[in-house]
Chains A and B, each alone.
Chain A
Amino acid sequence: MERPLTQHIKNDGTWLNLKEYEKTGGYQALRKALSMPPEELTTLVKDSGLKGRGGAGFSTGMKWSFVPMGRKAPTPKYFVVNGDEMEPGSFKDRLLLEENPHQLIEGAIIGAYAIQANFSYIFLRWAYHRAAKAITQALQEAVEAGYLGENVMGSGFNLDMSLHISVGRYMCGEETALLNALEGKRANPRAKPPFPVVSGLFGKPTVVNNVETVSNVPHIIVNGAEWFLQLSKSEEGGTKLYGASGRVKTPGLWELPLGTTLRELLEVHAGGMQDGYNFKGALPGGGSTDFLTTEHLDVPMDFKNVEQAGSRLGTGTITVLDDKTCPVGMVRNLEHFFAQESCGWCTPCREGLPWTAKILDALEDGRGKMEDLDILTFQTRYMAPGNTFCALAPGAMEPLQSALKYFREDFEKHIHEHTCPWKS
């Protein structure tokens, strides 16, 4: 089984420095890319079927292809790496950021060259201190080696790449909010259209791609689209960083073919449930995805199949709910998170999420009424996609609506018993 993203990671507490990365074939993809016309790179990435690994799953090559090209295109253009991983239950990008920063930087240089951007930012969340150190060192090494700066590898292409360390807000992960943060502003989302590919950072064409997405790029350039497609077990190309947390025997992170089933993740890689605990459900890819349950264990974890099962692949890092943990409590924890992280820009989210969290508090405290379940159901409709400015509130409704569907009797028990059954 090929593991292009993680095969060279050392696991000895140090990250791959420039020399070590070059020994693994590092920066050969950049050499090849610089000899190709930019549009050809975009076509190659499009043909590989690479879909954004940050959660939304949009075609990466397609996104690049929307950037205005040619002499009349607005300048400067920007290529931004989204390393603001802050979704509860997601921890996949941390590994790539901390252990193999040059792989990410090489991917970002290729991406910038493909859209002819002369400025690039790596937007990193504040909590990843080790990653910040690794990237700072790697950027310096890349500049000294001539992979960044003026006239990259003698190609005539110029690229300035900087690290931006955020100061903590979940909203920064949303691509237009991220651009506002890079401009020094509050990270409120922007209206779309125009999309950032046309009008992004400082009003100029900007591509924003997730860390795992960008880290795939050098491998696609070296090995080709066909190779990437065959890595996967499904029709969507590539491997995926999958992870598991919760009461499983071996929580962790694994690079596996896209389309690996939930059962294989749980039983083989995560080692099954801890003794004394049974599987009740799982969020497949972060706090803003719908629960899957035992009936979904054989669902291949790719974008299309998870969607058909009524959820989203999201980040692919699963959070397991066991039978000794209260599902209402888990959803309550999530809704408090989303209510706190709402930027307040639009009313349904600003008002609806704290209301939702308060109802869940009442249920948890034994003060809930049956009508509360109706209100919660209404909220999932009021904050459905299209009713809010961005995806934060609709995302917040996903675990709630699926919990109401699969664990309704647990909600009702709270009401009938006037307490949380897991506490009594």
Chain B
Amino acid sequence: MSEHELRVSKIRDGTVIDHVTGGQALNVLAVLGIDGDEGLGVSIGMNVPSDTLGKKDIVKVEDRELSQGEVDIISLLAPEATVNIVREFEVVEKNRVERPERVVGLLRCPNHNCITNGEEPVESTFGVVEDGVRCEYCGEIIRSDIGDHLAVS
């Protein structure tokens, strides 16, 4: 049994997010809205050796599966990530994340003067461009620092 399989098999039910870009694990937890208060079992490996990435993070969350919106935003933070669904100790699904065409309500526009940062009844909406995301209201582009603009705490 490989080291990787051993890590996964330790979860009875839940999700293992593997091949996360090194240093992004805490942002992944922020996307998932996990801060410890909800009582979920969470394990994190940060900057562990990876053949393909050099260094990677791993996030394991027990008794929690991810929504498509959560997977979408993780794909922007960690384009190489895999999302493994575990049930009864078995990996029942293993999916590479795919970049969505747009993300809604998950990021805060860094342009303070953008209308989405006012008291208006709209959600932030970003189109995904080649090397980042772009606000569909004001045109602001976020490139390498997407994790700094999560609309979740």
Q: Do A and B bind each other?
A: no
Chain B interface (Cβ within 8 Å of chain A)?
none
